[in-house]
Copies of this chain bind each other. A is one copy, B any other.
Amino acid sequence: MSQQRNGQAAGVSDGAVFPDLPEATVARLPEYLRALHNLAETGFDTVSSEGLAAAAGVNSAKLRKDLSHLGSYGTRGVGYDVALLIAQIEHVLGLTQRRAVALVGVGNLGHALAGYAGFSSRGFRIAALFDADPGRIGERINGLVVHDIARLPEVVAAEAISIAVIATPAHAAQSVADRLVAAGVTSILNFAPCVLSVPDGVDVRKVDLAIELQILSFHEHRKSALTTLPSPTGDGSMKIRPTLDGEALAT
C-alpha cells in the first residue's frame, strides 16, 4: 500500500513516450500556468524567464530548468510564446479536457468547495456530490443534488469520474476512500485531517488547514524568540519587538 506518490513522476520505463518530470517540477507547473494566464489577459504575447519567474514567485534559473524538462519551447534572445507555453503545460497536466470530480461530504467545508469557482475556471467540473447524512441527501447545492454515498459506484461510472475530493470528518475518511477506490477513483484530494491508506496506483494529496497554521505558528514562535537578542550582523542594533509568548528568553 502506498500513501503518497513521491520521487520522479510516473512515466513509461524506457522514457520514450513521455519524459519523466521531477515531482517538484510538476508541483510548480500549475503556478506557471496561472501566471501565464494572467500575462495573456494583460496582453503579453511573449515573456522572458525572468518575467515569468517573477510572476510565479520563483527564480529564473529554476523556471528555465523546469521548462527544459518539457522540451524547448523558448526562443533564445526573445523568451517564451505565452499561448504556446500555456498549451504545452495544459497538455502535460492533462488539462486539455475538463475533468469530472466527485466531492464527498457537504458539511461546512465541503459546501464551500462545492461552490468554489476556481475549480471550474481551472480545468475541473464538480460532477457529483455525496454525503452520508440522510438529512442532506437530496439537497441542491449550486445546481447539483447531493446523492447518498451508497450511489457512488453508479454515479462514478456514469460520469466517468477518476478524481474525488474528501471533505468529511476524519473518522469517516478512510471508509470513504475505500469506497471511492472500489468505485474506480484513482486520485484523491483529502481535506480530512488523517492519513489515508490506498492501494498502489491511487494518488492521494492531503490539505490540512490546521497544519498550515501550525507551521506558521512555529515561525512566529521563532521570531518572538529573537526579540531581545543582539543582532547577528554585529551592527550593535537590537531587534525589539514585544514578545507575546511570555517565554523565557536568553539574554
Contact = CB atoms under 8 A, between A and B. Distances in A.
Interface stretch (A108-116, A131-139, A147-155): A108-116
A101 interface: yes
Interface in A78-127: 92-95, 97, 99, 101, 108-109, 111-113, 115-119, 121-124
Interface in A191-241: 193-195, 201, 203, 205, 207-226, 229, 232
B17 A214 contact: no
A220 B99 contact: yes
Interface in A11-35: 11-14, 16-18, 21, 26-27, 29-31, 33-35
A166 B65 CA distance: 31
Contacts of A215: 26-27, 30, 205
A18 B245 CA distance: 15
Which of A26, A56, A246 lies at the interface centre, i.e. has the most chain B CB atoms within 10 A of its CB? A26
B99 A218 contact: no
A4 interface: yes
A211 B118 CA distance: 10
Nearest to A231: B13
A33 B201 CA distance: 28
Contact of A123 (B95, B111, B214): B214
- 8 nearest CB pairs, A to B: A94-B221, A13-B232, A112-B112, A57-B195, A187-B216, A122-B210, A30-B214, A30-B211
21 contacts: A9-B218, A11-B225, A12-B229, A26-B215, A29-B214, A30-B208, A55-B195, A93-B217, A93-B218, A94-B222, A97-B245, A99-B213, A108-B112, A111-B112, A118-B210, A123-B213, A123-B217, A160-B244, A162-B244, A187-B219, A207-B207
